[in-house]
Structure 1
Amino acid sequence: MNDSTSTRLPTVDASLYPRGDLDVLSREEVARLRDASTGGMHELLRRCALAVLTSGSANDDPRAARELYPDFDIQVQQRDRGVRLDLYNAPAMAFVDGQIIRGVAELLIAVVRDLIYTATELAPEYAGELGTAAGVTDAVFRLLRNAGVLQPGDPNLVVCWGGHSINRDEYEYTKEVGYQLGLRGLDICTGCGPGAMKGPMKGATIAHAKQRRRHSRYIGITEPGIIAAESPNPIVNHLVIMPDIEKRLESFVRLGHGIIVFPGGVGTAEEILYLLGILLREENAQLPFPLILTGPTASAPYFEQIDRFLRLTLGEAATACYRIVTGAPAEVARDMARGINHVRQYRIEQKDSFYFNWSLDVPLAFQHPFEPTHEAMAALDLHRGRKPHELAADLRRAFSGIVAGNVKEAGMRRVEELGPYQIHGDRDMMQALDALLRAFVEQRRMKIAGEYRPCYEIVA
């Protein structure tokens, strides 16, 4: 173990010999992972690996871990019978008596697996395929299949969305809902971070142990811009790193059989708008997709405000897509189990797979990566007269830009250099948006710690 200075934490040097998928990396793939040049993969590998090695961190600043461990490095070495991962100045918190924690090692291997597969799967020669909605969906399917999370069997996967910065009562409530889901044999998928992404998994582990389930799935889906700010929580046993937020969102709705939304901030609002924008399309009108918004009784005003915002912007039709339940974890779990049974029957009738929702129509507008530049944010069309699903797509992008300005390093840098993003639209819509965002700030849903400085300005 290396001695730390007064400002640096203890570190460890270690080597790992992964087994499985990484046994068959080509020399070219290893070279790409070691490439530190502009456009190379080494810096991305280093950032994602450091996030995994600091799993359980309570900081949501993507630069914090690198400041605490500035000398950390990871090197991928080619060997005759596979590869070796060499860690230098790695966080000691990932080790016990000099040995890396097994779960952390598995997540680290998942990082290497997903980064190299994405680089191959989304290479320039696939540009034509990725220009169509079906092509993007096929790419999402292959990325999830490569990660080993597409497993045949009865539908039982519940996606749980919610904020990384929530209060203690809300966190305990997410645990109780997860416990009730676990008692009913349901597995959990989240964004893999802390808060509402960790609580349901933690509750489900106890229930699964009581029910003697031996092969429970706790799937965490993230992307490179998020993982550094929301390190995987220690319960995740299947980590998937998608290349961008849009493919991450599509993974949730293709993989999950129902979705529960807990209290959260702008990231949670982005997820809600993404899903509603899809469900409001005529092509998906008959598709069963259980969606429940829930939290402790004290969180009822939060959901009332979300509900008002959705009614104002997307219309009353949007409210038919979800149900709001507060203070009743067992009721939430029972409703979700019933909803998933309807999904099962529908998939059987439609001859659709249980492990990937092919029937869901996701248009290219929802799949195309949105780069939140100041110009792109100012150009969003947030005005009346648009179809609800089209407006939902641009509202989703607005929230996505705020997420970037809050926790993604590239977005934070843009805001520091050019000032806050400006968001334009109809007066009543902007007033409602401003009120919602102010409430997130007052309820400390934007950041885990420290005073929040808005990365946006609302312009009516």
Structure 2
Amino acid sequence: MTKTQDTPASPRTTSLPTVNARIYPRSGLDILSREEVARLRDASRGGMHDLLRRCTLAVLTTGSTSDDPRAAQELYPDFDIEVRQQDRGLRIDLKNAPAIAFVDGEIIRGVAELLAAVVRDLVYTAIELAPEYADELGTSAGVTDAVFRLLRNASVLQPADPNLVVCWGGHSINRDEYQYTKDVGYELGLRGLDICTGCGPGAMKGPMKGATIAHAKQRQRRPRYIGITEPGIIAAESPNPIVNQLVIMPDIEKRLESFVRLGHGIIVFPGGVGTAEEILYLLGILLREENAQLPFPLILTGPVASAPYFEQIDKFIRLTLGEAATARYEIIVGDPEKVARQMAAGIRKVREYRLDQKDSFYFNWSLDVPLEFQQPFQPTHEAMAALDLHHGRKPHELAADLRRAFSGIVAGNVKEDGMRRIEEFGPFQIHGDTDMMESLDALLRAFVEQRRMKISGDYKPCYEVIA
């Protein structure tokens, strides 16, 4: 139920229409005890209020193509949110909310569900990952348990046959690449496979859009289009409209672990630094001896014109992580049907392995994720300069630091805190062995030339690569 009232545009805005509204969540947040509601209300009014406001604004502008986290705030500077207590649940009050989220005075149902997910995840995180959990979060098993609880609270853990494909790729891709992601999503959907992405535009939207048609053809009643994000990303990349289950993890590391614990296979489309970060994260884990026998289908794919992109990624991986890393993935170019067939076959092996190991279908407990891949990395200038990017290290250890390097560049590109650091102190400096830095620099230059760093506008690098 929604109650709305039109409001005049603020003189500071570009006269975009806004409304005041009261939202009564229909699911997820309406079956709560009075104590739980009071805790939610108090947390939303405290130190996390600004974060709640920014993430809520992101979902209310769902479908936005901007990747500047400050754009929506500048367009709707007077927007605010308050979580209020009701006898049996919550009421969400919105002030000067974007009118595009409403139709004839009613909030769009999908937007209302994403709004409820924002409140649920941000406040649940504030409660469940409070200081009293610090000791638990200092161990690998403790972090994994926290990830499990967050996903369970979001109701995305379903005891069904393995069928969830995680799709990674850039938010800034060209039209041919976007169409290709839709074609692959269509082929996946025809085979009864659901989609999980980072929830934003580009390669995160395309597979979901393609799968919706296939799922409709197959009369699949409850397809899942899961979007997993984190507060720093969602403010820059609003969820795409197809996402029907949104999860906001507290940081990038828990977001990445969610993907590999929840998904049964991963497809990587062309992307930029964020996609490279994801590839290095997964390879770093799969290269550990503890995961050597674990089946985990990983396919890198794109249209024929994107072949040079994957050649360069493959060359960088061979130089840094060695030939063994290439055995953990397959590159398929220009063949959506083959991608879907290979992924479906890989997921059948995952099912057999889980049955043999008596592991759950809905959460990959068997995967060993070390603490160095779980601890949040704060991309300060000092931390970026201190990364150990040299040969002679174990592949999974080098992968962890390479992942952090790309994570820092992502922060400098699209996360508000990272952008502020760059504006104040200048570009991050990344040091390492000469051949590694030359390869890294060539890869990053290619991302810039192919316009994979930003959706629009001229890109000014937030980094300097120093041999």
TM-score with structure 1 setting the length: 0.98
- Counterpart of 1:394 in structure 2 is 401
Is 1:310 aligned to 2:311, yes or no?
no
- Counterpart of 1:230 in structure 2 is 237
Is 1:119 aligned to 2:126, yes or no?
yes
Distance in 1 separating the partners of 2:264 and 2:377: 26
The alpha carbon displacement at 1:78 in A equals 1.0
- Counterpart of 1:445 in structure 2 is 452
The alpha carbon displacement at 1:220 in A equals 0.1
- Counterpart of 2:306 in structure 1 is 299
- 8 Å Cα contact 2:251/2:376 also seen in 1: yes
Distance in 2 separating the partners of 1:370 and 1:53: 29
User: 1:411 aligned to 414, 418, 432, which one?
Assistant: 418
Distance in 1 separating the partners of 2:51 and 2:285: 31
Q: How many residues align?
A: 456
Distance in 1 separating the partners of 2:37 and 2:223: 32
Is 1:167 aligned to 2:174, yes or no?
yes
Is 1:382 aligned to 2:389, yes or no?
yes
Distance in 2 separating the partners of 1:20 and 1:173: 35
SS across alignment from 2:96: strand
1:261-305, Cα deviation, whole Å (9 max, x unpaired): 000000000000000000000000000000000000000000000
Q: % of aligned pairs identical?
A: 82
Distance in 1 separating the partners of 2:415 and 2:251: 12
1:102-139, Cα deviation, whole Å (9 max, x unpaired): 00000000000001111111011111111100000000
- Counterpart of 2:220 in structure 1 is 213
User: 1:152 aligned to 159, 168, 174, which one?
Assistant: 159
The alpha carbon displacement at 1:29 in A equals 2.4
SS across alignment from 2:318: helix
1:325-362, Cα deviation, whole Å (9 max, x unpaired): 01000000000000000000000000000000000000
The alpha carbon displacement at 1:22 in A equals 1.9
1:20-43, Cα deviation, whole Å (9 max, x unpaired): 4323133132111022xxxx1111
The alpha carbon displacement at 1:98 in A equals 1.4
Distance in 2 separating the partners of 1:160 and 1:122: 28
Distance in 2 separating the partners of 1:423 and 1:82: 49
Distance in 1 separating the partners of 2:318 and 2:345: 26
- 8 Å Cα contact 2:196/2:228 also seen in 1: yes
- In structure 1, runs of 5+ residues without a counterpart are none
The alpha carbon displacement at 1:99 in A equals 0.9
The alpha carbon displacement at 1:7 in A equals 1.5
User: 2:28 aligned to 15, 21, 25, which one?
Assistant: 21
SS across alignment from 1:26: helix
- What pairs up with 1:313-328 in 2 under 5 angstroms? 313-328=320-335
User: 1:267 aligned to 267, 270, 274, which one?
Assistant: 274
1:420-441, Cα deviation, whole Å (9 max, x unpaired): 0000000000000000000000
Distance in 1 separating the partners of 2:97 and 2:166: 32
- Off by >6 Å, runs of 4+ in structure 1: none
SS across alignment from 2:185: helix
- 8 Å Cα contact 2:37/2:89 also seen in 1: no
The alpha carbon displacement at 1:252 in A equals 0.1
Distance in 1 separating the partners of 2:42 and 2:287: 45
Is 1:364 aligned to 2:371, yes or no?
yes
- 8 Å Cα contact 1:62/1:407 also seen in 2: yes
- 8 Å Cα contact 2:37/2:90 also seen in 1: no
Is 1:3 aligned to 2:14, yes or no?
no
TM-score with structure 2 setting the length: 0.97
User: 1:183 aligned to 172, 187, 190, which one?
Assistant: 190
- What pairs up with 1:323-362 in 2 under 5 angstroms? 323-362=330-369
Distance in 2 separating the partners of 1:67 and 1:21: 31
The alpha carbon displacement at 1:8 in A equals 3.4
Distance in 1 separating the partners of 2:429 and 2:216: 49
Is 1:60 aligned to 2:71, yes or no?
no
Q: Which moved more, 1:149-158 or 1:11-20?
A: 11-20
SS across alignment from 1:22: coil
1:166-186, Cα deviation, whole Å (9 max, x unpaired): 000000000000000000000
- In structure 2, runs of 5+ residues without a counterpart are 1-5
- 8 Å Cα contact 1:8/1:69 also seen in 2: no
Is 1:34 aligned to 2:45, yes or no?
yes
Distance in 2 separating the partners of 1:42 and 1:263: 35
- Counterpart of 2:94 in structure 1 is 87
Q: Which moved more, 1:80-89 or 1:137-146?
A: 80-89
Distance in 2 separating the partners of 1:29 and 1:177: 40
- 8 Å Cα contact 2:41/2:83 also seen in 1: yes
1:80-106, Cα deviation, whole Å (9 max, x unpaired): 221110111111111111110000000
The alpha carbon displacement at 1:19 in A equals 3.3
Amino acid at match of 1:346: Y
Task: Name the Cα RMSD after superposition.
Answer: 0.8
Distance in 2 separating the partners of 1:233 and 1:28: 30
Distance in 2 separating the partners of 1:286 and 1:139: 26
